[in-house]
């Protein structure tokens, strides 16, 4: 065994690796299966507890920075919230017990749908759930991804296109083989962009290789909304932390059947973080 190979094995055994191993060497006729299988075999993070920095840029106004929290026991339970300052909540997203919900505080409205019925055209809460899951565990998308070709290398990225199984939607993935990282996901319908997720700042959370930053472009009723989600101090969730937490249906709030992620109109533009 060479000195370098022995050193690599020792690093892995000691748990000191800062990146996963590269995707395995493969002949062209073995692609895309070998690389997609290797990516899909990576574990997803089981639970997560993190503060969140959010930057939301609607199509019709200036961007706004929010603080928030993410608590999740994946893939079935997730709670993401955003607020301005200490006392002003803006939105909450909840998925639990087979349902997903989006609440907007200024509108005093909430939208609940079954989690297994994503509608990417209206970006219903089930589609939001799928987008957030893909941002936390991009390899989970591969379970419903059917590639169209072997993919191609351009610089450090391997790009492979295909379809989302059971849908008319096209999916394009950019993967960095050296770091075994999905760098971007693009979902389209007949050439129209529905969702783009640019993923970065990967780190290990226990044995899962998790993006700590996601820059999303998401179709909304009034155009494309840009959202940056940055995890701060991410750790695993304490056992039982989400037990007993259900959907939120505040008295006097209106249940609706379409609800874009809008922002309060009296929020001013926030400075861009340095």
The 10s digit of each residue's pLDDT in 81-108 is: 999 988 899 999 999 989 999 999 999 9
Q: Which residues contact 183 (CB under 8 A, 6 or more apart)?
A: 157, 174, 175, 176, 198, 199, 200
Q: Which residues contact 232 (CB under 8 A, 6 or more apart)?
A: 50, 51, 52, 53
* pLDDT of 263: 66
* pLDDT of 160: 98
Tell the burial category of 59 from Cβ atoms under 10 Å away from its Cβ (0-12, 13-18, 19+): exposed
Q: What does the DSSP 8-state code read for residue 262?
A: -
Distance CA 94, CA 108 (A): 15
* pLDDT of 260: 75
* pLDDT of 103: 95
For the chain, which ranges sit under pLDDT 50? 1-15, 270-274
* pLDDT of 16: 52
* pLDDT of 271: 42
Judged by phi (left if over 0) then psi (alpha if -120 to 50, else beta), residue 85 lies in left
* pLDDT of 222: 80
Judged by phi (left if over 0) then psi (alpha if -120 to 50, else beta), residue 98 lies in left
* pLDDT of 14: 44
* pLDDT of 206: 87
Q: What does the DSSP 8-state code read for residue 19?
A: S
* pLDDT of 5: 44
* pLDDT of 7: 37
Q: Which domains are delineated in the chain?
A: 32-255 (2.50.20.10)
* pLDDT of 18: 84
């Amino acid at each position: 065994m060479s000195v370098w190979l022995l050193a690599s094995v020792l690093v892995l055994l000691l748990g000191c690796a800062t990146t996963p191993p590269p995707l395995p060497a493969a002949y062209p006729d073995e692609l895309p299966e070998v690389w997609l299988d290797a990516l899909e075999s990576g574990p997803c993070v089981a639970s997560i507890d993190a503060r969140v920095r959010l930057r939301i840029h609607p199509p019709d106004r200036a961007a706004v920075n929010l603080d928030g929290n993410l608590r999740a026991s994946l893939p079935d339970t997730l709670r993401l919230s955003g607020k301005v300052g200490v006392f002003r909540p803006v939105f909450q997203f909840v998925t639990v017990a087979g349902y997903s919900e989006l609440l907007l505080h200024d509108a005093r409205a909430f939208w609940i749908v079954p989690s297994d019925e994503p509608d990417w055209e209206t970006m219903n809460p089930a589609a939001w759930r799928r987008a957030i899951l893909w941002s936390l565990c991009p390899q989970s998308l591969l379970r419903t991804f059917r590639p169209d070709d072997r993919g191609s290398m351009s610089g450090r990225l391997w790009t492979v296109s295909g379809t989302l199984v059971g849908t008319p939607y096209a999916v394009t993935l950019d993967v960095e083989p050296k770091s075994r990282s999905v760098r971007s996901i693009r979902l389209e319908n007949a050439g129209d962009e529905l969702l783009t997720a640019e993923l970065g700042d990967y780190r290990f959370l226990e044995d899962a290789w998790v993006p700590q930053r996601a820059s999303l472009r998401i179709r909304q009723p009034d155009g494309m909304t840009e959202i940056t989600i940055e995890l701060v101090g991410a750790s695993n969730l304490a056992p039982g932390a989400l037990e007993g937490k259900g959907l939120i249906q505040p008295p006097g709030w209106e249940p609706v059947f379409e609800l874009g992620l809008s922002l309060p109109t009296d929020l001013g533009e926030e400075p861009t973080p340095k």
